[in-house]
Structure formats: C-alpha cells, structure tokens
Amino acid sequence: MLGRVTEALVGPDDDGERLDAFVASMPYSPSRSACARLIEEGRVTINSTSALSKSERVALGDRVAVELPEPEDEGGPLVPNPDIPLDIRYEDDRLIVLSKQAGLVCHPSPGHVQDSLANALVAHCGYDHLGLLQGEDRPGIVHRLDMDTSGLMVCAKDDEMQRALQDLIRLRVLDRRYLVLVHGYVAPETGTITTGIARSTRDRLRMAVSDDPGSREAITTFTTLERFEAGRRDEGYSLLECHLYTGRTHQIRVHMRHISHQVVGDQLYGRGDDRLNLGLDRQFLHSWHIRFDHPASGKTIELADRLPPDLSGVLESIQERSMGRTEAGSVICPQILATGLTDGTIAEG
C-alpha cells in the first residue's frame, strides 16, 4: 500500500549525486536499498518524468518526487504537550520562527517520547496546521538543532511551506549563523572549512570528517569575533560566528574538532575537563541570526537572538582575558550581549 508523496529540490550539495542516494536522504525515506526498489517500481519521478535507473544522476534544480509506502506501524499521532514553553519570535498563518532552549530535542527519540519540540508544536498548532512532509513524528520540523544547541529555528504550518523552506536550505539562501566559543587561539580573521562528513566507523553516535565516497560535502565558514588570552591551565579561547552552507549532522562541532579548536563544553567531540570547559555541561553553540525571504509573502524575515544566560555568563567570566574584538566582533558582540537587543525585523522584500 502506498501513502503520501514527498518531494525535494536538488540543491548545490547534491548536484550529480546518484538518484538512490538522493532519495534516501529525503525526508521520511526508507533505507537506500528500499529507495532503489521504489525507483525500480516506478514510484520516483524527476521533474514529473519517471526515473529510469537508481544509478542515474540528479542535477541542480531537479525536483524529485517519491511515493512512499505507508509505515507498517504508524504508532499514532504525537501526544500534545502544552507544558513545554515555546519562545516564538515570529508567527503567521504559514510559519513560525522560535528560539529553542538548550536541552529540548526537536522530535521524539528514545527517552524523549512526549517532551520534544514536536510535541509542543502539536499542542500549539494541532496536526492540521503543521507540515507533515517529514512524517507525523516530526510535524512542522524544517531543520534541526541538536538537543543542547539553543537558538533560532524555523517551523512550517503546512506541507507546501515546509517544502518551500527546505528548498531555501538546499539552495543555500536561508541564512543561518551561529555563535561558538572554541578552545585555543584562532589566528585567521575568516576561514572556510570544506570536507566530507559521514557517520564514524568507530562510534555510531559520532559523525566524522571523511573522504569516503559515501560521505556528504559539508561547508562551514567562520569569522573570528574575539580572542581570549591563555590562562595557566588552558590555551585560551576564541569566539566565532559560523555560517552554514550545508546542514550536516553535528557539522560545526565536527568541523571545529577537525581544525583542532573543539567547541567549549562539547561532551561528544570536545574536551572532558570541566575546568577547561569553563563549567559548561553543554556545547557553547547558539543559533543567533537567521534571514530569509518569506516564500509566500516575499517579506524578508531577519531575526536575532542574544546569548542565553549560561553562555553569556561564560563570556563574562573570561572577559578580563580579552585580547580585543575584531572589526566584525565590534559589530556583533554588543548585539548578542545587550539586554536591549531588538530580536528581529520584518521588511518588505
């Protein structure tokens, strides 16, 4: 029995990728081998034309549609959880931009069945007013933040908007910027990290930089905002703004480890010494700025989110060690720390 049709636009990251691999990366898709069978059964189209082979290559701008089978055990809708607070920064009848608190998972997972952001969204909007392209266990979710990453993210209220926002991400025109405090002195003012990322072969909970053919391209740029002198027992710290051009799992954390500047407080990829982590038990990673053109209205949505108290407190604790802010830091740092920051603007596009 076949169920819903899901679609995705091929962005720069996936240009030239094999069709079965691309289909397997789409929302709510089964395994790659199962996706290959769907292609063979004629259940996959490229630009409304039936795909011929699992090995054909997709191209930038192609729209791939897949008719997915109904899950054998749907498990039923999520339990609405109105007790989870939603810090909504912008909302209309098509989408929501909110600031996710640290410690909140985006969708149900083992150990978090009724206490996810998805449960809160169902309580706030109802299933009938959330995009379900990612499946009924991920209503409204357009992109994820790790459980212990805080800050701005976008949610969709219908399938059409969810698809349009995912297309903006694939085409790299939904601008997402993160604040990250890392170990050590980062000398360059700016830099770009481009690698493949795949699941680690040693620890399935981790991702890793990889040149394996199955890895996916990941691009992160960074701008140094402020540097802090080394102390007696550490090598100093650097505050960066990172800009994601791709959205791989744990991308910033993996890339910072790759350049030997692990994220402060990162329990998975970082340094386990509490003293070096300045008392943090979660990664110093915050989605502070987001900008995109509203797919329906054409308005430019631009929102900023100051650092939460635990992260701003860490910066305050090492402020006397500051070596000075860069030109970019002189612009951004007052915004992320100021109590009077305007959290967002909406402008006609």
Give catalytic residue positions. Answer: 146
Neighbour count for residue 128 (Cβ, 10 Å): 8
CA distances in angstroms from 6 to 36, 53, 88, 104, listed in the order given: 16, 19, 28, 27
Match 């030997």 to its residue by tokens.
260
Task: Specify burial of residue 263 (Cβ count, 10 A radius: 0-12, 13-18, 19+).
Answer: buried
Distance CA 227, CA 318 (A): 10
Distance CA 171, CA 167 (A): 6
Plot region of 249 (φ>0 → left; ψ -120 to 50 → alpha; else → beta):
beta
CA distances in angstroms from 319 to 64, 136, 234, listed in the order given: 50, 46, 15
Helix (H, G, I), strand (E, B), or coil: what is residue 151? Answer: strand
- The enclosing H or E element of 51 equals none
Q: Do 332 and 226 form a contact (C-beta atoms < 8 A)?
A: no
Q: In what order do the strands lie in the sheet with 44-46?
A: 2-9, 63-69, 44-46, 49-50
CA distances in angstroms from 58 to 8, 13, 38, 263, listed in the order given: 11, 11, 16, 35
Comparing C-alpha atoms, which of 305, 326, 307, 304 is closest to residue 316? 307
CA 55, 208, 195, 168 torsion-angle sign: positive
Q: Structure tokens of 255?
A: 């890339």
Q: Residue type for 348, please?
A: E
Q: Residue type for 214, please?
A: G
